[in-house]
Amino acid sequence: MAITHHDWHSTVSATDRYGTVRSIQEALPDGSMSTAMAIEQAAYTDSASRDDYTAACQAAIAASAPASVAAAAAGDASSAPGDTRIGPFSNCTPIADGVTSTVYRSADGATALKVITVHHPLPPHDPQREIRILRLLRPPCIPLLSTFRDQSHQQVLAFPYKPLTLDALLLSAAPHGVTLPRTHIKAIFADVVRALAHIHELGIIHRDVKPSAVLLDAPGGPAHLSDFGTAWHPTLSAAAEPAAAKILDIGTGPYRAPEVLFVNKAYGTEVDVWALGVMLAECVSTPARPPFESRAVSEDGNQLGLILSIFKTMGTPTPETWPEAREFQVSPFEMWTVFPQRSWREILPDVESDWLEMIESTVRFSKRATAKEVRPYATDLTSHEQYANTVQLLQYKCIE
């Protein structure tokens, strides 16, 4: 029986809507997020039932996507809400896909279930190491509730379900040309910095810090650091990845640190600090976007494009500004166009000084602050009254 117009909206969570928007965006020829959001919003507003909403969104995907993608979107019954059983959890709904896993939400909305979909480790992914690392952590890292094997003998990791991600907030803000409220950014980054300080104290490198790895209870937090599938541990990872010979295929897009791009296999926790600062720069920019551009991983030259973007934005490094790079396998000092040095005040001229201090201390080639050193900035950053009504102006299209 279809849910009526009066009550069906309550069955569609923020994450459901965000996932639908992303599916529509991926199908659109121009990949426009604002267009995808408008299509989803119209379906959400005009549909008389959840079935109508789903059909409208699938029709939009089918109309925009290549034939093979459209057929999968319209006919893949396995991804329909409420028809999947995972161990003791019935009626689970898929909410996210990764390289090695699919994440589901339990029917009661309390649990997120990460189902490992590969049968062998795909370095740097290793679910057994991930489980062992998660058991060492404390909040604000996302807690591991339990692990088990499902009826297909796939490994499953159970976590508390969180309805939002920082990525979802940024994507909802960008089309409206506004930033997130400063009070929200302050609260979120205080939690993320505490989480990084904690794991770094244990010698753990997260290696994939990005907005989608920051889970939220609400737009203003609390925040929880997640996605430890590629994390490195000094003991648990030593056999597969010695400290001086770590895997370079880490990080995501514009959040990747430059030392990894120049084949420094002895990188450390500084790669997480760089990603932290890039995220902050994205959050305080208007509109919200990373300071660097990166092509999709599947595109040729994606690493070269990111290097060029970093150098154009910050200036080409020299042996004096990046002395550690003298030992890198690939030198950043040769065969590169020389771009002038730029301060973060020049890069982000409209951002307040206290935020710039934190960005400047983390997004730099040499002598980055540690997460422990960053903590005072994250807890003391100024909250400005002029942003108090930003939530009302934004209305968070994806998270109503």
Per-residue model confidence as pLDDT tens digits over 126-152: 999 999 999 999 999 999 999 999 988
Residue 143: closest CA among 230, 234, 224, 204: 224
pLDDT digits (tens, 9 = 90+) for 63-81: 664 433 333 333 333 344 5
What is the C-alpha to C-alpha distance for residues 125 and 64, in angstroms, rounded to an integer? Answer: 33
pLDDT digits (tens, 9 = 90+) for 155-185: 999 999 999 999 998 888 766 666 788 889 9
What is the C-alpha to C-alpha distance for residues 322 and 336, in angstroms, rounded to an integer? Answer: 15
Domain-terminating residue out of 127, 143, 160? 160
* Domain presence at residue 399: no
Tell me how far the alpha carbon of residue 296 is from its chain's centroid. Answer: 15
Tally of CA atoms within 13 A in the half-sphere of 106 that contains its CB: 17
Q: What is residue 81's predicted lDDT score, i.e. its pLDDT? A: 53
Residue 124: closest CA among 245, 249, 244: 249
What is the C-alpha to C-alpha distance for residues 65 and 68, in angstroms, rounded to an integer? Answer: 8
* Domain presence at residue 400: no
247 shares its domain with 343 = yes
**Which range marks the domain in which residue 286 is found?**
164-394
pLDDT digits (tens, 9 = 90+) for 199-256: 999 999 999 999 999 999 988 889 999 999 999 999 999 999 999 999 999 999 999 9
* Domain presence at residue 2: no
Q: Which DSSP category does 122 fall into? A: B
What is the C-alpha to C-alpha distance for residues 315 and 82, in angstroms, rounded to an integer? Answer: 51
CATH code, domain carrying 222 = 1.10.510.10
What is the C-alpha to C-alpha distance for residues 236 and 166, in angstroms, rounded to an integer? Answer: 29
User: What domain count does the chain have?
Assistant: 3
Model-wide pTM > 0.85: no
Q: Taking residues 17-25, what's their average pLDDT?
A: 76
Tracing tokens 């159970």 back to the chain, one arrives at 158
349 shares its domain with 316 = yes
- What are 231's two structure tokens? 């994390």
Asked if pLDDT for residue 15 goes beyond 50, the answer is: yes
Alpha helices (H) along 135-231: 166-173, 182-201
φ, ψ for residue 94, nearest 5 deg:
-70, 135
Residue 314: closest CA among 291, 297, 330: 291
135 shares its domain with 70 = no
Least confident range from 86-90, 209-213, 297-301: namely 297-301
What is the C-alpha to C-alpha distance for residues 302 and 253, in angstroms, rounded to an integer? Answer: 8
CATH code, domain carrying 99 = 3.30.200.20
Is residue 387 within 8 A of residue 400, CB to CB? The reply is no
334 — pLDDT class (breaks 50, 70, 90) = confident
pLDDT digits (tens, 9 = 90+) for 307-324: 999 999 999 999 999 999
* Domain presence at residue 184: yes
Asked if pLDDT for residue 14 goes beyond 90, the answer is: no
What is the C-alpha to C-alpha distance for residues 292 and 87, in angstroms, rounded to an integer? Answer: 42
The strand pair at 111-116 and 155-160 is best described as antiparallel
